[in-house]
A = this chain, B = another copy of it.
Amino acid sequence: MKSDLPPTIYDIARAAKVGIGTVSRVFNNHPSVSNDTRSRVLKVASRYNYQPHPMARGLARRRTNAILVYLPYFTSFFFVEILQSVQSVLGDAGFDLILHGVKHPGNAAESMQKPTTRGRVDGILFFSMKMPEEVLKEYERLSIPLVFVDTHHPAVDSYFVENVRGSRIVTEHLIEKGHVDIGMLNAVRDSSPARERLKGFRDALKEHDLPVNPEWIIHAPPGPLDGFTKESGYHAMKQLLALPKRPTAVVVSSDIQAIGALEAVREGNPKQKIAITGFDDIDLARYFELTTMRQPMSEMGALAANRLLERMQHPGLPPIQRSFVPELIVRKTSAVKAVEHVS
Contacts and interface: CB of A to CB of B under 8 A. Distances in A.
Interface of A: 4, 6, 49, 51-56, 58-59, 64, 66, 73-75, 77, 80-81, 83-84, 87-88, 91, 96-101, 103, 115-120, 138, 141-142, 259, 284, 287-288
B81 A75 contact: yes
Interface centre among A4, A53, A73 (most CB of B within 10 A): A53
Nearest to A61: B55
A119 B52 CA distance: 9
A48 B49 CA distance: 42
A33 to B, nearest CB: 19
A96 B84 contact: no
A56 B84 CA distance: 31
A197 to B, nearest CB: 24
A105 to B, nearest CB: 15
A129 to B, nearest CB: 16
A83 B73 CA distance: 10
A215 B285 CA distance: 34
Given A54-B115, A96-B98, 6 more contacts: A51-B119, A55-B119, A55-B120, A73-B84, A91-B101, A284-B284
Interface centre among A54, A55, A59, A83 (most CB of B within 10 A): A55
Closest 7 CB pairs of A and B: A55-B58, A54-B120, A53-B119, A55-B59, A51-B118, A97-B99, A51-B115
Nearest to A118: B51
Nearest to A81: B75
A54 B119 contact: yes
A29 B283 CA distance: 48
Contacts of A138: 49
Given A96-B98, A101-B87, A118-B6, A64 B74 contact: no
B96 A116 contact: yes
Contacts of A91: 100-101
A119 B51 CA distance: 9
A321 B221 CA distance: 43
A91 B73 CA distance: 12
B84 A80 contact: no
A80 B87 contact: no
8 contacts: A55-B58, A55-B119, A58-B58, A59-B59, A96-B120, A97-B100, A99-B99, A284-B287
B54 A116 contact: yes
A97 to B, nearest CB: 5
Nearest to A101: B87
B83 A74 contact: yes
A100 B97 CA distance: 8
